[in-house]
Amino acid sequence: MTLPEDFINYTKALTGNELWSIISRGLADEPPVSIRLNPFKCASGSPAESLSDGKVGWCDSGYYLNSRPNFTFDPLLHAGLYYVQEASSMFLDRVMRQYASDGPLTMLDLCAAPGGKSTVARAALPEGSLLVSNEPMRTRAQILAENMQKFGHEDVIVTNNYPRDFGKSRLMFDVILTDVPCSGEGMFRKDDMAISEWSVQNVEKCWRLQREIVSDVWQCLKPGGLLIYSTCTFNTKEDEENIRYITEELGAELLPVDIDDSWKITGSLLSGFDKPVYRFLPGLTRGEGIFMAVMRKNGERDANDTPRKDKKAKKDKQRNSKKETASCNRDWIKDPDRFDFVTSDNITAAIPKAWRDVYDAAAKSLKILSAGITIGESKGKDIIPAQALALSRALNKDTFAQAELNYAQAMSFLRKEAVTLPADTPRGYVLVEFNGVPLGFEKNIGNRANNLYPAEWKVKSSHVPDEYNEIIRTK
Ligand SMILES: C[S@@+](CC[C@H](N)C(=O)[O-])C[C@H]1O[C@@H](n2cnc3c(N)ncnc32)[C@H](O)[C@@H]1O
């Protein structure tokens, strides 16, 4: 790996020779491999023994692996039982369990694709909380929606907007995460593009854009609310100097996070700025290079700032009278009374009643890609169950016929090939599973079955291993 000369000089000047030699050695090493289990689908799971290489210190559901298996060939990855994520990014879990554990809360993850930190956040948020997961770039937003559907938690809205759109939406959040686009120095060993695109001019461009992003969304953070700012870069312009701008110009206080010395997380590199900020350096910390800081916005939290039951009950009544719930099998999900069933363009979604007001406000001014649980699409009298339903933790499995697939069949299903079901499988929609875990739906029409796996999600690899290589154990 050849690092840009300007980057070396700049970083060496910041860190000093000793730390720089650790970082440069770290950047030349193989990156550690890690995964995070989905607590809603795999609470008592663990990595396969042959791969296991210890736990990530700052995240209970994070594990290191001793090598990089071919994740694409594991049906359980596609079913959302775990997420492949570099370990440093899992520090968000630590931050949220310390500062965002009292709920319910509303949270916005503003720059969220492909969804790694959104899935950390969704796992850490108190039950009943809502996560709005946003990405402005259209194609990346689709990938985000896919990953959030695989994660399978119903209290999520995925949007495709720029930060200024949130400013106009008048939505307010208790927690905002800005994992801003950056010059990517911390990803050099994983991503050659980050090296080729790095330049002093790009660092300048990045810190300005990052300030603009935070400023645009600042009005959406409630007084007393939490801003979590992160980058995957080392330089102080995009890190400490932006934090100084946010605290001094926008009005926020930096908060310390409890850390363990053995994790070797370092602090501020900016002289004269001795504040609690957290930097993960390759070669020192076991993960990629990231920077994170946690701030509380000035002002008091409004103690009455919870949804008012009386107002909500009245609205529920009005909505029910509109017969919104018409065309859908409510019993496809568990506890259907918790949800409003909303149909738009023939697609029905179950929206948790608890945050229906936020959904309505968001629908007026934002581009929503998915919200709650997408239940299915009506075609004539038929309702085709959605992939998101198959992967939702709220799926009521017992309302569908089920068929267990072997490994070869499961991979064929994920490649959107025809998979023949056992002769005694009932006709109609069938939930197909691997190791008892839902993968999606087929429509069994007797002599054959139509594979309903989304074409955009299909596994493209032409080669598939003959044997299943277990990456995680589910129990
Ligand atoms: C560091 S990545 C986010 C990674 C993500 N949080 C995760 O953990 O998977 C930054 C994201 O910001 C998005 N982005 C680019 N320009 C943006 C802008 N003007 N406002 C907000 N986000 C932007 C990028 O497309 C990218 O997906």
Q: What is the pLDDT of residues 390-399, one digit of tens each?
A: 999 999 999 9
Share of the chain above pLDDT 70, in %: 95
**116 CB near ligand 1 (under 6 Å):** yes
Candidate from 162-176, 319-333, 395-409 with smallest mean pLDDT: 319-333
Cis peptide before 114 (omega within 30 of 0): yes
Q: Give me the pLDDT at residue 303, please.
A: 65
59 is catalytic: no
Section 440-444 average pLDDT? 97
- For ligand 1, whether the C-beta of 26 sits within 6 Å is no
CA nearest neighbour of 77 among 470, 421, 463, 374? 470
Q: Is the pLDDT reported for residue 304 higher than 90? A: no
The arithmetic mean of pLDDT across residues 60-68, rounded, is: 98
Find the catalytic residue in 182, 206, 232, 328: 232
Cα of 158 to ligand 1 centre, how many Å? 14
Tokens at 239, concatenated:
């890190």
Instruction: Using most ligand atoms within 8 A of CB, pick from 89, 165, 180, 218 the residue to mutate for ligand 1.
Output: 180
Q: Whose CA is nearest to atom 25 of ligand 1?
A: 137
Determine the atom of ligand 1 nearest the C-alpha atom of 109: 6
Model pLDDT for residues 341-394, shown as the tens digit of each residue:
999 999 999 999 999 999 999 999 999 999 999 999 999 888 999 999 999 999
Give, for ligand 1, the residue of 111, 135, 205 to mutate: max count of ligand atoms closer than 8 Å to Cβ. Answer: 111
C-alpha span between 421 and 456 (Å, rounded): 23
pLDDT score, position 462: 81
135 labelled as ligand-binding? yes
Closest CA to 404 of 428, 438, 443: 438
Q: If you average pLDDT over every residue of the chain, what do you get?
A: 93
ipTM of the assembly?
A: 0.99
Residue 315 pLDDT level (bands cut at 50, 70, 90):
low
Q: Which domains does the chain have, with CATH numbers?
A: 5-297 (3.40.50.150), 309-359+373-390 (no CATH), 401-459 (2.30.130.60)
- Report phi then psi at 368, rounded to 5: -90, 125
Cis before 104? omega within 30: yes
Is residue 328 scored above 80 in pLDDT? no
Name the closest-CA residue to atom 5, ligand 1.
112
Calculate how far, in angstroms, residue 220's C-alpha sits from the geometric centre of ligand 1. Answer: 18
Distance 288 CA to ligand 1 centre (A): 17
pTM over 0.90: yes
Cα 182 vs. chain centroid, distance in angstroms? 18
DSSP state of 333: B
- Which residue's alpha carbon is nearest to atom 10 within ligand 1? 181
Tell me what pLDDT residue 103 has.
Answer: 84
Split at pLDDT 50, 70, 90, the class of 329 is confident
What percent of the chain has pLDDT above 90? 88
Measured between alpha carbons, how far is 113 from 49 in angstroms, rounded to an integer? Answer: 31
What is the pLDDT, as a whole number, of residue 325?
A: 47
117 has binding-site annotation: yes
Instruction: Please tell me whether 113 is known to bind a ligand.
Output: yes
Q: Could you tell me if the CB of 216 is within 6 A of ligand 1?
A: no
Q: What is the pLDDT of residue 310?
A: 40
Summarised one tens digit per residue, pLDDT across range 73-90 is 999 999 999 999 999 999
**Cα–ligand 1 centroid distance for 125 (angstroms):** 21
